[in-house]
Amino acid sequence: FAREVRRLTGKRGVDVVVDCVGGDSWIRSLASLAKGGRLVTCGATAGANPPTDIQRIFWNNLKIFGSTLGDRAEFTEVLNFMAASRTQPIIDQVFSLRDAAAAQNRLEQGKQFGKIVLRMDA
């Protein structure tokens, strides 16, 4: 996804990435940052010890923050901000729950750009 971020930002990169995955996502998140960018890490479901390009961090003056994403009041504040600003997550693809294996496969292959959604069919 770093290549797509660079394309969408005219090769600049983004100011902030919130990475709740870790693993290979950590590497891609760092590569997506603009000079002086900030990476907030709040999870490690794909791995807690990803390789890190130390030179990318210091040459680009990147900042790394750890976060538990706050308490309930802070979470409510973020939700209210998202509603007021009409911020929408990027949805890569929606799968029926019966197609969860295909969704998992897409994630494992790193083909997604954005969220994978599993829909509960009635």
Q: Is the dihedral of CA 37, 78, 69, 119 positive or negative?
A: negative
Containing domain of residue 117, as a range?
A: 89-122
**Same structural domain for residues 58 and 117?**
no
**Same structural domain for residues 57 and 98?**
no
**What pLDDT does 12 receive?**
95
Distance of CA 112 to the CA centre of its chain: 11
**Same structural domain for residues 16 and 66?**
yes
Please tell me the total count of domains within the chain: 2
**Same structural domain for residues 49 and 80?**
yes
**Same structural domain for residues 23 and 57?**
yes
Average pLDDT for runs of 10 along the chain of length 122: 89 93 90 96 86 94 90 87 87 92 89 88 66
